[in-house]
Structure 1
Amino acid sequence: MADGIGHGAKERVASKLAVESVYKELINADIIDEDEILYYLEAAFQQANAELRRNAAEDPSLSHMAASMLAGAIAQNRLYLAYVGDCCAYLVRNGVA
Structure 2
Amino acid sequence: MKVAAKSDKGRARTNNEDCLRVDEPLGLFIVADGMGGHAGGEVASAVAVEAIATYVQSHLTGPEPADHIATLLQTAIHEADVAIQTYARRHPKLEGMGTTVVVALCRGDQVHIAHVGDSRAYLLHNGGLRQLTEDHSVVTRLLKAGQLTLEEACSHPFRHMITRYLGNGNAFAEISYLTWQLGDYLMLCSDGLTSMVDDAHIAELILHGGTDVQTACEALVERANANGGEDNISVILAYRD
Q: TM-score, normalised by structure 2?
A: 0.39
Task: Output one character per residue of 1:13-55: Cα deviation in whole Å (capped at 9) or x when no partner.
Answer: 0010000000001111135211111001000000000000000
**Structure with greater strand percent:** 2
Alignment partner of 1:65 is 2:79? no
**Maintained 8 Å contact 2:38/2:93:** no
Alignment partner of 1:22 is 2:52? yes
Q: Which runs of 4+ in 1 moved over 6 A?
A: none
Alignment partner of 1:85 is 2:117? yes
Give the Cα separation in 2 of the matches to 1:12 and 1:23: 17
User: Which residue of the partner structure matches residue 236 of structure 2?
Assistant: none
- Partner AA of 2:100 in structure 1: S
Flag the structure with larger Rg.
Answer: 2
Aligned pairs, number: 97
Q: Aligned Cα RMSD in Å? A: 1.3
Give the Cα separation in 1 of the matches to 2:37 and 2:88: 15
Alignment partner of 1:44 is 2:38? no
CA-CA distance at 1:94 after TM superposition = 2.9
Q: TM-score, normalised by structure 1?
A: 0.92
Q: Where does the alignment leave 5 or more consecutive residues of structure 1 unmatched? A: none
Give the Cα separation in 2 of the matches to 1:46 and 1:82: 12
Aligned match of 1:2 in 18, 23, 32? 32
Give the Cα separation in 2 of the matches to 1:74 and 1:33: 13
3-state SS, counterpart of residue 86 of structure 1: coil
CA-CA distance at 1:8 after TM superposition = 4.8
CA-CA distance at 1:71 after TM superposition = 0.6
CA-CA distance at 1:6 after TM superposition = 3.1
- State the percentage of identical aligned residues: 30
Give the Cα separation in 1 of the matches to 2:88 and 2:123: 35
**Structure with greater helix percent:** 1
Label 1:33 to 1:41 Cα distance change in 2 as closer, same or farther (>3 A): same
3-state SS, counterpart of residue 92 of structure 1: strand
- Partner AA of 1:80 in structure 2: H
Give the Cα separation in 1 of the matches to 2:37 and 2:109: 38
3-state SS, counterpart of residue 89 of structure 1: strand
Give the Cα separation in 1 of the matches to 2:110 and 2:74: 17
